[in-house]
Amino acid sequence: MALEFDGSAFHGWQQQDNAVSVQASLQEALAEIEGKPVSTVAAGRTDSGVHAEALLVHADVSAERWQRSHLAYIHGVNSKLPDTVRVVGVRAVNSDFHARFDCRERAYRYQIWNRNTPSAIYRWRHWWMPRPLDVDAMCEAALCCLGTHDFSTLRASGCQAAHAIRTISRINVKRSDGVITIEVAADAFLYHMVRNLVGNLVDVGLGRQSPEGFARLLDQKDRSKAAATAPAHGLYFVDAVYDGFSSRELIGNS
């Protein structure tokens, strides 16, 4: 399933005992359709406040019901979900498919509202940054991240990954009117890696750090010397790539 959700309504993807999560909401909806408990696995976990346009999730469901009408897993499930989360595409996969371990690439987008006044409409969709940002300098700094590196500088203290080596295949910083978007794709991400990256790129855009200084920070592999973490509400999970398809390609094509 490709899942779209408004992260401001949830305490992240992962099911929790005392908080509303996307996973719990989806599993409750699937259980109503299936008539029994259903477990789900996502391509990646999202923090509280982070949004998604196409988070890939897998679940074992009834083959008979799927063959009778796979739309039960779009319209039927959506009818059981809160308005803040929607299944936007589905497809059948092999029984050994795994949304997390089979994922070859994940992509995120971060949005910055770069105007001198905040937005009344998009206040939980962007990080408001009233001071002008130098997008060219941010682009130059971002390119330092391309390829395979030890990203300890962008790794949050609570990260449980075995190592900090990751491969960033695409990164792009662009402005459209007053909105700056940062798009990044990698084989995998460390805990808070994208938000820490954005915090440092904003420091460059504000002139607090040069692109060369940011490159040196990456080489030092020391999170304590880097900029603060960008807020969660500007971040979107936008794609998960697998052999033969991606989560974004499922939107509207089921």
- Choose among 205, 250, 204: nearest CA to 226: 204
In this structure, is residue 219 part of a structural domain?
yes
In this structure, is residue 244 part of a structural domain?
no
| β pairing state of 235-242 and 105-113 | antiparallel
Residues 94 and 111 both lie in one domain? no
Rg over CA atoms, the chain: 19
pLDDT of 159:
87
pLDDT tens digits for range 171-219: 999 999 999 999 999 999 999 999 999 999 999 999 999 999 999 999 9
- Write down which residue in 76, 102, 128 finishes a domain: 102
The crossing angle, in degrees rounded to 10, of helices 211-220 and 135-142 is 30
Residues 137 and 227 both lie in one domain? yes
pLDDT of 157:
85
Domain count, the chain: 2
Residues 95 and 139 both lie in one domain? no
> pTM of the predicted model, to two decimals?
0.95
Residues belonging to the active site: 47
For 61, the domain range is 2-102
In this structure, is residue 47 part of a structural domain?
yes
- Write down which residue in 46, 78, 102 finishes a domain: 102
Q: Is 108 assigned to a binding site? A: yes
- Write down which residue in 102, 131, 164 finishes a domain: 102
pLDDT tens digits for range 120-155: 998 899 999 999 999 999 999 999 999 999 999 999
Residues 159 and 170 both lie in one domain? yes
